[in-house]
Chains A and B, each alone.
Chain A
Amino acid sequence: MPLTSQEIQKIASLAKLDLVHSQEEHMLQQINALFEIVEQIKSVDTLGVTPLSHPLETVQDVSLRLRQDLVSEPNQRELNQKSAPKVEKGLFLVPKVIES
């Protein structure tokens, strides 16, 4: 089903993206074009089929590996923060978080 302009705006909002009005048209067109193809899947009968999450689960047991509870990460703050846009006193700075 083709998306409306309103729906596009809502999605953009969820994804924290701004769509300038001119772009919105274009984006809408392109997404809807893809969706025409995507809609095909709705008519496929998948009754009784379980979703495939890890591709190799069909041939081996793929379950979550558990590691021992050990601390082995050292303090590497300076290195980790080398590419941070704004840091002060070791904290990442952002505009004030309003609700707290």
Chain B
Amino acid sequence: MSELHDLSLKALSLAIQNKVVSAREASEHFLTRAKAHATLKHALNPLQCEENQTSQSNSCGAFVSFNEEFTLHLANQSDQRIAKGQARPLEGVPIAHKDIFVTQNFPTTAGSKMLEAYCSPFDATVVTQLQQAGMVNLGKLNCDEFAMGSSNENSAWGPVKNPWDNTRVAGGSSGGSAAAVALRLCPAATGTDTGGSIRQPASFCGITGIKPSYGRASRYGMIAYASSLDQAGPMAQSAEDCALLLSAMCGPDLDRDSTSLDVPKEDFSRHLNESIEGLRIGIPKEFFSDGLHPDVRSCIDLALNEFKTLGVKLVPIELPKTELSIPVYYILAPAEASSNLSRFDGVKFGFRAKDYKDLDDLYRKTRTQGFGEEVKKRIMIGTYVLSHGYYDAYYLQAQKIRRMISNDFQEAFKTCDVIAGPVTPQVAWKIGEQINDPVANYLADIFTLPASLAGLPAMSMPCGFGASSMPVGLQMIGNYLQESKLLNVAHQFQLSTDWHTKTLRGAK
């Protein structure tokens, strides 16, 4: 039998339900693997004060915290339920959560010193839903601070290294989630996507990830970065696995999240096995501009050809405002973030500076010391674009262009069913290479930002290897509420290709 960690989430779930392996065994197996990949600087678990292993030099820095006692407690509960024939859909299957979701039984840091030992009195709705489906929480995953970044170099606990090449970035902001899945430290993980933070790390690490339509998954308990853009989503080995998780994660949260859509819970797996013959895939010409590196382009072209053999029709489309998504996003997201992060003031929770002379000094020192550079920069940008005299020219204007971008997509969807293209212009870059050129980082978001701004569902799946043998991801964008169609298309692709099965042989 293959190793436990080689099983897909679906296969593992079946194995546990059929008592081939116990939930406890599964948890212990993954915990051992996970602990070898904790961050070097880490948040002590105030509930258990558990220190991580020494000599972590091979660690990719994916996991921030554990609570072994709690994990095993959940696993035991799962085994008991299975014994009684009361198994829930994902009973006993381990999952790890991006450290942006608050959890009662693990500290939540959002990759920030500001929340170094923060203990939330409640769980995020997404966490609760997965737990109610029977999943076992393994630990919290490293991410860019407050979800701001595209490389996971912006974490207070150290960067996440790309499992395929540990001198390269894993991508961000859900870098820890992507790396953990790529290394099979857990069968799947949760991530969040505001401007590409699920899709891009999934692409860099060779795994599959999906951001659903805005409003599908509850944002309650998801530490807010940009409220009108943030969405939770699964990151896993395949579209099939993502579908299982997405079904458990999504659903209206009418009592707690006013932006949650009042649409019924769906089984996103229901169309997986349908034929995609005759499907029209739109190819936006703006996604194939000069900025796209040739190695990435080759992989994408290969993938598109594969689709043709499946009977798909490729249709040229235009998304003329693609380039504008960068300035629009980098106005709206920082603006909302600057306000969302005002609550971090050293008064009610979290970090407080040691020395201060008065209230104003308390605020300034706490926030200056507690936040990292990228976060401070975005707060500054956001504060500026909202400030007196600039609101109309920047924020309001950006909101208007946002509608135009959304309209572009609707126009495009008149002639196609889904849209395909690259996730990023290039493969994962070297750690430290772009840290001093954040604008280059921002420009690299060009393909993921449009779907975020429009609130459309979008996913990334592996479609080859590019320069330096690094993974390349194919992006697919669907129309509103069409996640099951997207997953269907992705699944059919994954049935006739095997990029998504390429794991890291020699992964410890």
Contact = CB atoms under 8 A, between A and B. Distances in A.
Asked if the two chains touch in their complex, CB atoms less than 8 Å apart, one says yes
Interface of A: 3, 7-8, 11-12, 14-18, 27, 30-31, 33-34, 37-42, 44, 46, 49-56, 58-60, 64-65, 67, 76, 79-80, 82-86, 92, 94-98
A46 B439 contact: no
A55 B406 contact: yes
B384 A11 contact: yes
Interface residues of B, number: 75
A37 B350 contact: no
Contacts of A64: 258
A15 B379 contact: yes
30 contacts: A15-B380, A16-B367, A17-B364, A37-B327, A38-B331, A41-B331, A44-B401, A46-B397, A49-B401, A52-B402, A53-B399, A55-B214, A55-B454, A55-B455, A56-B214, A56-B480, A59-B480, A59-B481, A65-B258, A65-B262, A67-B255, A82-B121, A83-B117, A83-B119, A85-B350, A94-B347, A95-B356, A95-B358, A96-B358, A98-B358
B455 A56 contact: yes
Contact of B121 (A39, A44, A76): A76
Contacts of B504: none
B465 interface: no
A76 B358 CA distance: 30
A44 B397 contact: yes
Given A31-B381, A34-B330, 16 more contacts: A11-B380, A16-B360, A17-B367, A17-B368, A33-B439, A38-B394, A46-B401, A46-B404, A52-B403, A56-B213, A59-B481, A65-B258, A85-B350, A94-B359, A94-B362, A96-B358
Closest 4 CB pairs of A and B: A55-B455, A51-B399, A85-B352, A52-B403
Contact of B364 (A16, A76, A80): A16
Interface in B341-374: 345-352, 356-365, 367-368, 371
Given A46-B401, A56-B213, A83 B380 contact: no
Given A55-B454, A94-B359, A12 B327 contact: no
Q: Which of B119, B121, B323 has the most CB of A within 10 A?
A: B121
B261 interface: yes
Interface in B398-443: 398-404, 406-407, 410, 438-439, 442-443
A76 B119 CA distance: 14
Contacts of B456: 55
Nearest to B480: A59
B387 interface: yes
Interface in B312-352: 323-324, 326-328, 330-331, 338, 345-352
B228 interface: yes
B377 A27 contact: yes
B324 A30 contact: no
Contacts of A83: 117-119, 349-350
A3 B377 CA distance: 14
A8 B383 CA distance: 10
B374 to A, nearest CB: 10
B326 A37 contact: yes
Contacts of A42: 393, 397
Contact of A49 (B254, B404, B443): B404
Q: Which of A16, A40, A50 has the most CB of B within 10 A?
A: A16
A60 to B, nearest CB: 7
B29 interface: no
Interface in B244-287: 254-255, 258-259, 261-262
A32 B313 CA distance: 44
B349 A84 contact: yes
B292 interface: no
Contact of A18 (B365, B387, B455): B365
A82 B330 contact: no
Contact of A65 (B118, B254, B328, B407): B254
B380 A8 contact: yes
A56 B407 CA distance: 12
B215 interface: yes
A15 B338 CA distance: 8
A51 B407 CA distance: 12
Contact of B228 (A46, A53, A85, A94): A53
A38 B327 contact: yes
Contacts of B384: 3, 7, 11, 31
Contact of A86 (B326, B352, B379, B398): B352
